[in-house]
Amino acid sequence: MAVTLSIPTALRQYAANNASISLEANTVGNLLHGLIELHPDLGQHLFDEQGKLRSFVNVYVGDEDIRYLDGVDTLLKDGELVSIIPAIAGGRG
């Protein structure tokens, strides 16, 4: 089953400047690991040293944050859109 993964502008330089990639995957974890197989430099930006998704990396399946679903074990359907959305910090102090 093919799933489309949307890559944020800040990470595109590590993914051959692709805005999105279609991959075969049945879970979010499989999708992200498939992405890293294609673009290894993305790994350090998405996962920590223990292999866990970094806390500032938000992943959405459609409009749903995977933190409120089954995390990286969230099942995917054919044609689904998954988005990586890095947290943004800043503003006035």
In a domain, 92, yes or no: no
CB count in 10 Å sphere of residue 25: 21
d(CA 42, CA 30): 14
In a domain, 25, yes or no: yes
What total number of domains does the chain contain?
1
Element holding 85 (H helix, E strand):
strand 81-86
> What is the chain's pLDDT, residue by residue, as a tens digit (93 residues)?
799 999 999 999 999 999 999 999 999 999 999 999 999 999 999 999 999 999 889 999 999 999 999 999 999 999 999 999 987 765 566
Domain that residue 12 falls in:
2-86
Q: Is the pTM of this model over 0.85?
A: yes
- Quote the distance between the C-alpha of residue 70 and its chain's center: 14
CB count in 10 Å sphere of residue 87: 9
